[in-house]
């Protein structure tokens, strides 16, 4: 059956459950278990026949084929039955197993049959042992002699059964000559015993067939085997079935057919599997015995419960392993690693090893090793040999009972692999050490070193272990140790360097941190400085802006002065030419007069001569009269010419004076006023242009230098003023700004009294104001806060009879830019949505009446109130018929973006574009276009004075221009006393003043009537011009005159 030898044939197993178990497991069947041995019936006879004939038989078969069991349960019972020989039926069967000491074992086997030996004391036993052993070793007939010495019965036959005969070769240490000799001696003992005819000694051996070749080195033995051997045949499927069902039946149980089928299937044709089958059946039986129901057949579930043939052995081995404590588990691992060896990828072989050697490998005592081995060879387990009961000594060869254990027990499989890895590592290391010694390789470094150190920690290799694989263990370990030390030293040096680096980094960090703190302090200081600098910068910017303003002003003034000066020079030249002409005419007249006088004298001579010739005298007198008449006529012509020349001269002087006046500083206001006044006098006296810009400018500047109320700005807004409107009655001015503030100004002559209608508000930009004719209602619109998500806003309607009253809000607009009352004053038109929409309000609600195609920038209502004129960004002027559903008619195409439009009461239309061009167009004849050039930037507003005398325009070029409608060819009065954008302009109701809304919070005011200014100047000045001033500023040849009659002449 297996390679396990049963030493104590009589020894029964201990556990009751095992007793009742009809399957032996891994161990072979015992002799007393022949009733359980099935499947090889009828095969014993041939063996007995050969034994009888040759006194020797070799039962040969593959591993696990059942050789031992066959001998024990198939052959020996028949032998005992006296079948073999007719000499005597008494048989003494000595069963031995060579092991590592075949002769000693044979001696023990012989003595075990000696009853006196069994009864002897320990000392006696030792003596007997020595005697028999010495006898067996003394000669080749030692066995015969030993048997004869112990022979108690002359009829007794001896059968020496050498089980596991291959151990002679397996356990032999070929290097050990003693061992070799012992093998030879043992074989000789057996051969001689067979050949010794005096004593009936029979020898039977069981041997694995793969060791047959080893027998060839012993010719006698070879001959015996050749003569008599029995090759044990493989069991048929039927025989195997019997081997299963037989013992079950003997055990008094049933086995289900499907389990039999399953077992036979699992078993296959491999004879090696028979011990596994027996083991599985043993375990199945035990399980069934413990957990099976009464009357229940042994079934598949029991078989599966123990893990089937695939797992049963593994589980069984694990049971044994789990019984060990931790230390023992380690020893166990070492034992199994020692007695196995890996060959090939998945192929392990057994490597029987002496117990003492295992203890040395594990570095523990032999007793400890024995304790572990006992667990694995306990009855019913038999996983390790020697089998249970065989005393263990240092030289006992430890082996696994069946190779299949290596295949099936997973843990062992892993150990085998681990051991193979460990050996591989060791061999690599040993090789490296060897190379290092001869200087062909260096010390190991990570990762090899780390792997080797891990290996060392894990496997703790011992000298004995190491020398099994490579003799130079010590050198190898020294190599490893040296590699480690070398590496550690290297690491320490690196660590030291790292620490130094770290220290350096820390110092650097500390320095940087300190620097950072200092920098932060500097930063704070810098911020403080920056704040100071910002303040200074702001102040500087304001100063710069002021300076720029002053510069610009000065430049403008200078340019103006230059141009006027040139003009004055031209005028002066013209006047001089005229004067020269007049003088020439006068000279001619004088010449004529002299000629006349000469003629008269001649006539007197002639008259005296006439006494002599009367007729001639009369004739001559008539001629003289005619000549005299001519002379008188010539004198008249000359005087008119002179008068014209004087007029032009004085007009030029007037302009020159006015310009000089504007060029004087305010601290010369006396002179400034006198020059302006004298300029005004000359201009008036010598019939200069009524609205001459220079004269106006001189007067305005002069009264301004006296801070005359007429020249003062109206201050009350905090931010830019977007719109200014005048009432048509009551002389009020209303202004609205980007801060939402609306002011009402009462103009009472020179006094302007402001009243706040609405104070400044956030998010209110007033863009449009409209006041009704009788000054009771005002509508304000612009960009106001939204009231809902659609950005709907409102207009405000003020009751001007009580301006403080909270205005009425009428919703329905978004962004209003212009509002106009209808003529009926029952409604108002609103330009909304940045000029995209025309809306109509009845002061309760707002309705859209026209949606414009283009963005309309301004609109104006015709006098009859029936037409609304619009000016849009495309440059088109359209008119909408308010009576007939807002029908549109294109009036004029300006070809350039229009910004403003206004209509006069006499049927003229003025339009202004974004480049500063102003056009005056007769609405009845649009081909009649008068271009009025002057502005240089957007014309924001155009207004006609109600007396039709003026057009006022305001522009982003920082000027308001006043155009004299009666003299459109003349330059307009340029109201430029200002340096920011002018948004809006309006005439007061009495047309005496122009009010302009400016970007920088002021309403600028200018009087339209220069007489008003002139009237004031003489009251401001305290004296008249001196002669010197007269000669400097007027002319030396012009007679001095008092500029202001209310002051005495100052020419003395």
Partner 1 sequence: MNKNLKYYSLIIITAFTVLGSLNKTNAQCLENLRQARTIYDEGRLHEIYDVLKGCLEGDNLNEEEKTEAYRLIILSYIYQDQPLKADEAMLGLLHMNKLYKTDPETDPNELINLYGTFRTDPIYRYGGKFNVNYSLVNVINTYSIGPSDVADGLYNSQISIGGALFIERDFFQNKVALRLEGTYSIYQTQYTAKGFQSETDTDISINQYDNTETQSWAGMNLLAKYSFMKNSALGKKINPYILLGPSVQFLVKSASANQTTVIGGETATGKDIIFSDEGIRENLNLSLIAGLGTNFPFGKISGFIELMYQHGFSDITNNHNSSELAWRYAIAISDVSMSTLNINLGLMINKYSPKKLTE
Nearest to partner 1 of 17, 791 (CB atom): 791
Give min distance, CB of 789 to partner 1, in A. Answer: 7
Torsions phi, psi of 548, nearest 5?
-60, -45
Alpha carbons 25 and 18: distance in angstroms, whole number: 10
Residues in touch with partner 1 (CB under 8 A): 523-524, 527, 531, 719-720, 737-740, 762-763, 765, 783, 785-786, 789, 791, 815, 817, 834-835, 855, 857, 897, 914, 936-938, 955-958, 981, 999
Nearest to 418 by CA among 344, 358, 349, 333: 333
Give min distance, CB of 523 to partner 1, in A. Answer: 8
Give min distance, CB of 912 to partner 1, in A. Answer: 12
Nearest to partner 1 of 335, 975 (CB atom): 975
Beta strands at 56-61 and 201-208: parallel, antiparallel or unpaired: parallel
Nearest to partner 1 of 739, 830 (CB atom): 739
Nearest to partner 1 of 496, 512 (CB atom): 512
For 163-189, letters b (16+ CB in 10 Å) and e give bbbbbbbbbbeeeeeebeebbebbbbb
Give min distance, CB of 916 to partner 1, in A. Answer: 9
Alpha carbons 1013 and 711: distance in angstroms, whole number: 9
Q: Which class for 880: exposed (0-12), middle (13-18), buried (19 or more C-beta within 10 A)?
A: buried
Nearest to partner 1 of 524, 598 (CB atom): 524
**Cα 221 to Cα 205, 214, 224, 828, distances in angstroms:** 11, 10, 5, 144
Q: Which residues contact 403 (CB under 8 A, 6 or more apart)?
A: 63, 272, 348, 349, 350
Give min distance, CB of 720 to partner 1, in A. Answer: 6
Task: Assess contact for 346 and 420: CB atoms under 8 A.
Answer: no
Give min distance, CB of 738 to partner 1, in A. Answer: 4
Nearest to partner 1 of 720, 917 (CB atom): 720
Alpha carbons 29 and 730: distance in angstroms, whole number: 144
Name the residue with tokens 């009666």.
Answer: 966
Q: Which helix (H) or strand (E) holds 406?
A: helix 404-408
Q: Which class for 36: exposed (0-12), middle (13-18), buried (19 or more C-beta within 10 A)?
A: buried
For 434-458, letters b (16+ CB in 10 Å) and e give bebeeeeeebbeeeebeebbebbee
Give min distance, CB of 431 to partner 1, in A. Answer: 52
Nearest to partner 1 of 399, 913 (CB atom): 913
Nearest to partner 1 of 454, 792 (CB atom): 792
Give min distance, CB of 785 to partner 1, in A. Answer: 8
Give min distance, CB of 804 to partner 1, in A. Answer: 23
Nearest to 1047 by CA among 1030, 1031, 1028, 1025: 1025
Give min distance, CB of 826 to partner 1, in A. Answer: 29
* CA-based end-to-end distance of the chain: 169
Nearest to partner 1 of 604, 855 (CB atom): 855
Nearest to partner 1 of 434, 896 (CB atom): 896
Nearest to partner 1 of 722, 949 (CB atom): 722
Q: Which helix (H) or strand (E) holds 637?
A: helix 614-663
Task: Assess contact for 634 and 652: CB atoms under 8 A.
Answer: no
Give min distance, CB of 756 to partner 1, in A. Answer: 17
Give min distance, CB of 955 to partner 1, in A. Answer: 7
Question: Please, what sign has the CA dihedral across residues 618, 619, 625, 628?
Answer: negative
Give min distance, CB of 1001 to partner 1, in A. Answer: 11
User: DSSP letters along 1032-1043, please?
Assistant: III-SSSPP--S
Task: Assess contact for 388 and 379: CB atoms under 8 A.
Answer: yes
What DSSP designation does 815 have? B
**Secondary structure of residue 378 in the 3-state scheme:** coil
Give min distance, CB of 554 to partner 1, in A. Answer: 16
Alpha carbons 535 and 544: distance in angstroms, whole number: 14
Strand order in the sheet with 793-799: 765-771, 777-783, 793-799, 808-813
Nearest to partner 1 of 345, 788 (CB atom): 788
Nearest to partner 1 of 538, 598 (CB atom): 538
Nearest to partner 1 of 319, 534 (CB atom): 534
């Amino acid at each position: 059956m297996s390679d396990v030898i049963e030493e104590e044939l009589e020894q029964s197993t201990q556990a009751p459950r095992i007793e009742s178990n009809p399957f032996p497991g891994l161990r072979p069947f015992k002799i007393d278990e022949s009733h359980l041995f099935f499947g090889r019936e009828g095969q014993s006879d041939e063996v007995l026949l050969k034994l009888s004939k040759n006194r020797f038989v070799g039962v040969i078969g593959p591993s696990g084929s059942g050789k031992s069991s066959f001998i024990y349960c198939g052959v020996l019972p028949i032998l005992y039955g006296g079948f073999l020989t007719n000499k005597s039926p008494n048989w003494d069967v000595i069963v031995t197993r060579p092991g590592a000491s075949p002769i000693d074992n044979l001696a023990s086997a012989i003595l075990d049959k000696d009853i006196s030996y069994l009864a002897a004391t320990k000392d006696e036993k030792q003596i007997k042992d020595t005697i028999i052993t010495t006898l067996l070793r003394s000669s080749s007939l030692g066995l015969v002699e030993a048997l004869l010495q112990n022979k108690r019965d002359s009829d007794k036959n001896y059968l020496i059964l050498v089980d596991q005969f291959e151990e002679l070769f397996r356990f032999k240490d070929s290097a050990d000559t003693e061992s070799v000799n012992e093998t030879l001696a043992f074989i000789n003992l057996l051969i001689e015993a067979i050949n010794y005819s005096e004593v009936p000694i029979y020898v039977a051996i069981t041997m694995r067939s793969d060791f047959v070749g080893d027998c060839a080195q012993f010719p006698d033995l070879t001959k015996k085997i050749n003569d008599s051997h029995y090759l044990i045949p493989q069991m048929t499927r039927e025989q195997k079935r019997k081997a299963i069902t037989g013992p079950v039946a003997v055990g008094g149980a049933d086995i289900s057919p499907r389990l039999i089928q399953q077992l036979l299937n699992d078993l296959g044709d491999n004879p090696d599997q028979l011990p596994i089958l027996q083991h599985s059946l043993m375990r199945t039986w035990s399980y069934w015995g413990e957990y099976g129901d009464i009357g229940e057949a042994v079934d598949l579930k029991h078989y599966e419960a123990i893990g089937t043939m695939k797992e049963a052995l593994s589980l069984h081995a694990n049971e044994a392993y789990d019984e060990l404590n931790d230390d023992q588990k380690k020893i166990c691992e070492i034992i199994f690693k020692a007695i196995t060896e890996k060959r090939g990828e998945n192929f392990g072989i057994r490597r029987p090893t002496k117990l003492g050697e295992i203890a040395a490998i594990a570095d523990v005592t032999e007793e400890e090793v024995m304790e572990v081995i006992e667990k694995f060879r306990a009855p019913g387990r038999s996983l390790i040999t020697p089998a249970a009961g065989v005393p263990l000594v240092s030289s006992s060869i430890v082996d696994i009972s069946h190779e299949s254990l290596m295949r099936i027990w997973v843990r062992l499989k892993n150990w085998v692999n681990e051991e193979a890895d460990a050996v591989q590592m060791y061999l690599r290391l040993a090789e490296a050490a060897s190379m290092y010694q001869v200087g062909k390789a260096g010390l190991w470094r990570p990762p090899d070193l780390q792997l080797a150190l891990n290996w060392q920690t894990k496997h703790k290799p011992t000298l004995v272990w190491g020398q099994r694989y490579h003799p130079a263990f010590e050198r190898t370990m020294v190599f490893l140790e040296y590699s480690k030390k070398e590496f550690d030293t290297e690491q320490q040096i690196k660590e030291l360097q790292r620490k130094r680096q770290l220290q350096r980094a820390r110092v650097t960090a500390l320095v940087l941190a300190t620097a950072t703190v200092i920098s932060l302090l500097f930063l704070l200081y810098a911020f403080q400085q920056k704040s100071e600098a910002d303040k200074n910068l702001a102040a500087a910017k304001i100063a710069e802006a002021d300076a720029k303003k002053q510069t610009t002003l000065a430049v403008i003034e200078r340019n103006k002065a230059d141009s006027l000066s040139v003009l004055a020079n031209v005028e002066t030249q013209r006047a001089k030419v005229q004067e020269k002409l007049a003088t020439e005419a006068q000279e001619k007249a004088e010449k004529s007069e002299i000629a006349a006088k000469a003629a008269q004298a001649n006539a007197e001579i002639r008259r005296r001569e006439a006494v002599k010739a009367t007729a001639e005298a009369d004739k001559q007198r008539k001629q003289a009269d005619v000549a005299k008449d001519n002379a008188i006529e010539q004198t008249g012509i000359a005087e008119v010419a002179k008068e014209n020349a004087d007029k032009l001269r004085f007009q030029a002087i007037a302009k020159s004076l006015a310009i000089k006046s504007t060029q004087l500083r305010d601290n010369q206001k006396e002179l400034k006023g006198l020059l302006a006044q004298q300029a005004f006098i000359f201009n008036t006296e010598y019939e200069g242009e009524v609205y001459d810009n220079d004269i106006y400018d001189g007067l305005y500047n002069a009264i301004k230098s006296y801070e005359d109320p007429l020249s003062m700005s109206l201050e009350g807004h905090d931010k830019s003023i977007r719109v200014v409107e005048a009432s048509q009655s009551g002389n009020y001015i209303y202004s609205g700004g980007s801060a939402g503030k609306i002011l009402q100004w009462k103009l009472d002559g020179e006094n302007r009294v402001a009243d706040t209608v609405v104070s400044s508000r956030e998010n209110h930009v007033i863009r449009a104001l409209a006041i009704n004719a009788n000054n009771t209602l005002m509508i304000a619109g612009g960009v106001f806060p939204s009231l809902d998500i659609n950005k709907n806003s409102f207009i405000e309607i003020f009751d001007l009879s009580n301006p403080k009253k909270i205005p009425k809000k009428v919703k329905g607009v978004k962004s209003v830019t212009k509002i106009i009352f209808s003529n009926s004053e029952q409604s108002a038109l609103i330009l909304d949505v940045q000029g995209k929409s025309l809306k109509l309000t009845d002061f309760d609600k707002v309705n859209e009446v026209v949606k414009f195609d283009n963005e309309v920038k301004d609109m104006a209502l015709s006098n009859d109130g029936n037409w609304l004129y619009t000016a849009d960004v495309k440059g088109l002027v359209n008119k909408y018929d308010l009576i007939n559903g807002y029908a549109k008619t294109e009036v004029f195409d300006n070809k350039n973006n229009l910004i403003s439009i206004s209509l006069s009461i006499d049927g003229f239309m003025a339009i202004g574009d974004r480049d500063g061009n102003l056009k005056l167009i007769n609405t009845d004849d649009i081909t009649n276009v008068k271009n009025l050039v002057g502005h240089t930037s957007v014309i924001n507003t155009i207004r006609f004075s109600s007396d039709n005398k003026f057009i006022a325009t305001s522009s982003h070029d920082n000027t308001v221009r006043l155009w004299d409608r009666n003299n459109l060819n003349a330059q307009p009065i340029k109201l430029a006393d200002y340096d920011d954008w002018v948004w809006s302009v309006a005439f007061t109701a009495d047309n005496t003043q122009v009010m302009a809304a400016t970007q920088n919070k002021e309403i600028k005011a200018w009087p339209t009537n220069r007489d008003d200014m002139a009237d004031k100047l003489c009251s401001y000045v305290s004296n008249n011009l001196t002669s010197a001033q007269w000669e400097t500023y007027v002319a030396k040849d012009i007679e001095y005159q008092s500029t202001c009659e209310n002051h005495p002449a100052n020419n003395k």
